[in-house]
Amino acid sequence: MKFNVSGERPLIDDEYVGEPAKRALQYIQSKRQRGFPVVGVYCGYAPLEIIKAMEATIAVLCAFSNKTIRNAEASLPANLCPLIKSSYGFIITDTCPFYGLSDVVVAETTCDGKKKMYELIRDIKPMHVMDLPHVPDEKEAEQNWTVMIRKLQSFLEKHLDRKATDEQIEEAIKDTNRKNRKMNAIFDFMARRPPVMSWQELYDLTFLAQPSTAADMDDLLDASLAALGRRRERGVFYGLHDAPRILVTGCPVAGDATKVFKIIEEAGGVIVAIDSCTGMKAYMDEIEENSPDPVAALARRYLKIACACMTPNVRRLTELDRYIERFNPDAIIDVVLHACHGYNVESHKVMKHVKEKKIPFLHIETDYSMTDSSQIRTRVEALLETIR
């Protein structure tokens, strides 16, 4: 599927299209060479503003390749989530450059499998595990998460030999909000019918923007907004006018798992929104500015992330409604990784909610291998036939 005007340039230089990790690695290496420490993170619950307030660089750690899973299965159960096995496999084979560059690692208790995996790697380099509250709407949750963020701050200050004042954290909050506003202006082009950008461009930008400061992303985001504006003015769009609009929700999808995105596209659909931690989720809301306690403001924002590890995860449905209203999908595809029990159980609730809105729904459970690609293709094609 291509733009309706031949020769249209992608938003990111050709060298990097489909390779956001390559550009991110160059960014991290350049920062490290200039004396900035590197903090490795696994999850969207890691409060990035604390890290940025210390002028440290963030590295999103490897977790989305099938090639390291066999090595991991020598120690981990074969029926464990592929994201966990991939993460562990990268570490024991020493093939994740982001982990190698990291001075310390920030982890979180989002699931039992990850917690036990952290125990296996905790002696390799300094690591801090944050105890995430799983009942986010309780009063104590905000208090406890605020304490956990302060403990992370102390850990980083000790191991990086840097300090972060509340004023610096406030500046980091404002930096995140400025970046998120630009990202949402970009998302508006996906909301158009037909969309003005591809899922690959969206994915690349969200991957690059999450660990970066607004200042580091300004040129790329401004250039992307200008390019998208020119496309709109010239009548350039992505896909066909009548292509079914697909909203993808569920587990983080990246690397080898993007096979699902490619199958949707090849089957004639056009992805207009990615409701996941590797998609739009990190950018959809702003953090309260100028609050009496900026760390508490961070705690409130991060506890709003509608991950299936939370209970009762009512916010997952209200956030999904926001996506539906904004991006107007013709169908919703829920992509869940094998053995991700939280998202798998929650899929039933999501399906019921979506069907009440008369929107076609498909649940796909998969891993990082290509063995189920034909089956997924058949099911996606059948879904799209009900829409056309």
**What are the tens digits of pLDDT across the range 221-267?**
999 999 999 999 999 999 988 999 999 999 999 999 999 999 999 99
Identify the H or E element spanning 38.
Answer: strand 38-41
Average pLDDT over residues 37-46: 97
Q: Quote the number of domains for the chain.
A: 1
Smallest CA-to-CA distance from 376 within 272, 267, 269, 276 is with 267
Q: Above pLDDT 70, what percent of the chain?
A: 95
Q: How confident is the model at residue 154 (pLDDT cuts 50, 70, 90)?
A: very high
Structure tokens at 78: 């074969």
Residue whose tokens read 């991939």? 86
Q: Give the angle subtended at the CA of 210 by the CAs of 204 and 216, to the nearest 5°.
A: 90
CATH of the domain at 341: 3.40.50.11900
C-alpha pair distances (Å), 156 with each of 107, 153, 241, 245: 13, 5, 50, 43
Give the residue numbers spanning the domain of 94.
1-388
For tokens 């409604």, name the residue. 321
Q: What would the pLDDT profile of 322-377 be if each residue is shown by its tens digit?
A: 999 999 999 999 999 999 999 999 999 999 999 999 999 999 999 999 999 999 99
